[in-house]
Amino acid sequence: MKYLLAVRDTFSAAHRLAGSGGRCENLHGHNFAVEIKVEGARLDGAGMVVDFTVLKNILRTILIDLDHTDLNSVPAFSGQSPSSERIAGYVFERAEELLSDLDVGVASVTVSESRNASATYLP
């Protein structure tokens, strides 16, 4: 049996998507929402896979480096357009690193740039 846990947080940033062929090539901003889901099979003595506070702090640690930035100038996106898809991949990779000492794996990361548009990274 596996358990799936999810935490969410937000950040605000600007970006431009070169080569997208539309208005998104211009500098514009979003209030991004990010959801990370982790999975684990074992409960600890408190009946938890991992404390939600730990997951929230890890997600905040990742997003603080993106918050109120021009994403095109963030080194992680050097030479590539920081699309929602690439942001989701970046958050996934960072979360995997930061969760490596815990008995959980990242199941997915979803980045929403609006209520109607999101991208999900799955391993």
What span, in angstroms and rounded, lies between the C-alpha atoms of 57 and 53? 6
CB neighbour class for 56 (10 Å; exposed up to 12, middle 13-18, buried from 19): middle
pLDDT at 11 over 90: yes
Report the pLDDT value the prediction gives residue 121, as an integer from 0 to 100: 99
What span, in angstroms and rounded, lies between the C-alpha atoms of 16 and 20? 9
Mean pLDDT of 43-59: 97
Tally of domains within the chain: 1
pLDDT at 3 over 90: yes
pLDDT at 86 over 90: yes
Report the pLDDT value the prediction gives residue 1, as an integer from 0 to 100: 84
Range with the lowest mean pLDDT among 13-17, 21-25, 40-44?
21-25
Write down the mean pLDDT value for the chain: 97
Q: Which domain holds residue 49?
A: 3-30+39-121
* CATH, residue 91: 3.30.479.10
In three-state secondary structure terms, 100 is coil
Report the pLDDT value the prediction gives residue 69, as an integer from 0 to 100: 98
Mean pLDDT of 50-77: 98
